[in-house]
Structure 1
Amino acid sequence: MTLGTMTQAYGEPSYWDNRHAQEPGPFDWYQKYPALAPLLHLYIPTHHRLLVVGCGTSAFSEGMVDDGYVDVVNIDISSVAIEAIMRKKCSNRPQLKYIKMDVRDMSAFQTVSFDAVVDKGTLDSLLEVIHDQMLLRCLRRLEDYIWSANLSLTLVEKFIVMYNKTPFDRKTSVRGKFWK
């Protein structure tokens, strides 16, 4: 598989199913929870309802719950990842919920369902797959699920992108923030 073919596959559930089947253990793309815990606690109270997009097999959300977060919803496009992680982590942590879902279609959630979104690389992988307009729509769609003045934390490459604005301000500034 060439690099171009591989990165285009990032948007396909089959790519992630195969990857998680071949590498079944916990995996974090950029940082493990302890490295980011002080930053998260600074901006996201533990009683907030959180959405973790592209959870994969990461132990990040498990660390959040062990650190006091009480409502963490995790979504991933890979049924293999969701099934594996549910077998291991849900039984003793009822604060964790796992759902097989494509971040590009979150219509199963009502708008303003979450106080904050944690993205540990999903948008980064989508940058390889989709055009600017599709990513912008995805970012704006994510914002529909966050309360008006709360935080979105995105780990993109080696940067941490955070914004804490009203939805109107976020929607008008998203393009400049990501494409300057």
Structure 2
Amino acid sequence: MTLGTTTQGYGEPSYWDDRYTQDTGPFDWYQKYPALAPLLNFYVPRDHRTLVVGCGNSAFSEGMVNDGYEDVINIDISSVVIEAMQKKYQNHPKLKYMRMDVRDMSAFESGSFDAVIDKGTLDSLMCGHNSQQNATKMLEEVGRVLKNKGVYILITYGAPAYRLSLLRDLHLWTIKLHVIEKLVAERSLEHKKWELTEPVPLDEGGSVEAVLGKNPEVHYIYVCTKDKPTNGIGA
């Protein structure tokens, strides 16, 4: 993730406050809603309560509501961007914005969301100081706030070799991998590497080279279905 700063800024609210003071957006990391809509529609019914973590000034959640989603909660560590988004969407009751650190979502009860969507937030933590510790804290919190059978949808540049062990170590969920072309709008249908809604086969080592080739120009989407209640909560 190229953010134009040293890694130590990624986990700090001050970095993001400065960024969103200068960049009023909207800006979407990786993919915009229309490109990902078929996958979300496949895994997340429109009446399910959804949490978008690290929302920034993205138009992604607006796209969800315009597509019929009824309850979308958005959090971000930056008070600057949350205040701006609260003002922007003050007349949209289906869209809610809260300032919160994804590593500590204690304001939410355990098992309170059907789906959590992450487009670049885990990646951001993985690029900062204490990356492994912070990423684990985040994922534990995501698992806690998810209902049993709820889904965590992670959109990332992280290939399975770099993300699978991190996700599997929590022993919380069943994982399916999907991929989407990085420049899907600029590629012809004949050159698509894989159908978005079709899971890519995963082996224990996490290699997808046999299916997608070496260094595929894709974003990876991990759909993690919670199948183990956290401390008996969220079932």
Provide the secondary structure at the position in 1 that maps to 2:38. helix
Q: Which residue of structure 1 lines up, in the alignment, with residue 200 of structure 2?
A: none
Q: Larger C-alpha radius of gyration, 1 or 2?
A: 2
Deviations along 1:21-61, one digit per CA (max 9) or x if unpaired, are: 11112010111111000100000000000000000000100
Structure 1 gap ranges (5+)? 170-180
RMSD value, Cα? 1.8
- Alignment counterpart, residue 160 of structure 1, candidates 214, 217, 221: 221
Preserved CA contact (<8 Å) 1:33 1:60:
yes
Q: Normalised by the size of structure 1, how large is the TM-score?
A: 0.87
Equivalent pairs, count: 166
Deviation at 1:97, TM superposition (A): 0.6
Provide the secondary structure at the position in 1 that maps to 2:145. coil
- Say if 2:128 is the partner of 1:107: no
Deviation at 1:136, TM superposition (A): 1.9
| Greater per-residue strand proportion | 2
Deviation at 1:4, TM superposition (A): 10
Structure 2 gap ranges (5+)? 158-218, 231-235
Structure 1 segments (4+ residues) deviating >6 Å: none
Partners in 2 of 1:133 and 1:18 — Cα distance? 25
Provide the secondary structure at the position in 1 that maps to 2:146. coil
| Greater per-residue helix proportion | 1
| Amino acid paired to 1:161 | Y
Kindly, what percent of the aligned residue pairs are identical? Answer: 57
Partners in 1 of 2:89 and 2:133 — Cα distance? 36
Provide the secondary structure at the position in 1 that maps to 2:117. strand
| Amino acid paired to 1:112 | G
Q: Which residue of structure 2 lines up, in the alignment, with residue 73 of structure 1?
A: 73
Preserved CA contact (<8 Å) 1:143 1:167:
no
| Amino acid paired to 1:27 | F
Partners in 2 of 1:146 and 1:159 — Cα distance? 21
